[in-house]
């Protein structure tokens, strides 16, 4: 009986070993298949990441290309240039306003004094500027044009009179001064009204006052004199007419 059991065991032991080998051999491919699946998933994820990176790079490249095209567009360049010009003009305008308030704006000074630096030029740009002011001067006012610095010229007009041989002054006098600022703006202008004193300092000035040469060719001075004498003549005629009318009226009443 025992030998029969041993014989049965010996007969079936190869079959069991073969079954184990088959089970092991069948399980190994399953393990191998799982590893391959994981590798495929990882590869797909890497491919997806790579494609996303490429897509992001393409989008960035397209954005840069559009910016370059916008920059190279003539119309866009013109718009940018106009914008920069507007900004520059705004800055210059603000700076000009500041300069006008500090230097070039009308200065309403209560008293100002000028000293002749050299003989006033009878011709030239600023003498012509001064000639252009002459029609604005009242017939009973006077003017004086002088050079008060190396590159500065003054035109004063109004209630001026000669105080002595070296001084001209007056109150409520308008004055305009052209001077070289020494900056990129070149010559600038300032003006004012008030008490004015001019020291001749033994230099020649151009003036409508006596003993001085006049501006221009003398036509303006002649016009002023004609206007003055015409005014005097009209005044005398009016007074004479009123006097004559009064005498006649009294004669008619007495009769």
Question: What are the boundaries of each domain within the chain?
Answer: 111-235
Using CA atoms, how far apart are residues 214 and 208, in angstroms rounded to an integer?
6
Q: Which of 172, 170, 25, 184 is nearest to 95 (CA)?
A: 184
Using CA atoms, how far apart are residues 154 and 191, in angstroms rounded to an integer?
9
Q: Which of 24-28, 59-63, 81-85, 222-226 has the lowest mean pLDDT?
A: 24-28
CA distances from residue 68 to 60, 64, 74 in whole angstroms, order as listed: 12, 6, 12
Using CA atoms, how far apart are residues 64 and 77, in angstroms rounded to an integer?
17
For the chain, the average pLDDT equals 75
CA distances from residue 162 to 146, 170, 209, 218, 221 in whole angstroms, order as listed: 15, 9, 7, 20, 18
CA 66 distance to own-chain centroid: 33
Position 233 confidence tier, pLDDT thresholds 50, 70, 90:
confident
**pTM value?**
0.48
Q: Are 155 and 130 in contact (CB under 8 A)?
A: yes
pLDDT score at 157? 96
Torsion angles phi and psi, residue 119, rounded to 5: -65, 135
Position 28 confidence tier, pLDDT thresholds 50, 70, 90:
very low
pLDDT score at 252? 72
């Amino acid at each position: 009986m025992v030998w029969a059991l041993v014989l049965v065991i010996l007969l079936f032991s190869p079959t069991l070993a073969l079954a184990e080998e088959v089970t092991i051999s069948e399980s190994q491919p399953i393990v191998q298949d799982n590893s391959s699946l994981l590798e495929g998933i990882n590869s797909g994820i890497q491919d997806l990441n790579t494609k996303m990176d490429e897509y992001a790079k393409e989008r960035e490249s397209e954005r840069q290309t559009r910016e370059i095209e916008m920059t190279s567009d003539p119309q866009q360049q013109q718009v940018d240039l106009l914008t920069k010009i507007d900004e520059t003009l705004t800055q210059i305008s603000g700076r000009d306003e500041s300069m006008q308030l500090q230097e070039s704006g009308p200065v309403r000074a209560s008293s100002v004094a000028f000293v002749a630096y050299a003989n006033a030029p009878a011709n030239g740009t600023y003498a012509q500027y001064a000639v252009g002011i002459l029609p604005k001067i009242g017939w009973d006012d006077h003017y004086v044009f002088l050079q008060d610095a190396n590159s500065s010229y003054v035109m004063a007009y109004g209630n001026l009179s000669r105080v002595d041989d070296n001084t001209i002054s007056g109150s409520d006098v308008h004055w305009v001064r052209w001077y070289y600022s020494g900056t990129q703006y070149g010559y600038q202008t300032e003006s004012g009204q008030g008490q004015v004193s001019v020291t001749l300092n033994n230099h020649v000035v151009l003036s409508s006052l006596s003993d001085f040469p006049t501006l221009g060719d003398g036509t303006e001075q002649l016009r002023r004199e004609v206007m003055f004498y015409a005014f005097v003549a009209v005044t005398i005629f009016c007074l004479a007419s009123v006097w004559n009318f009064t005498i006649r009226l009294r004669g008619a009443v007495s009769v």
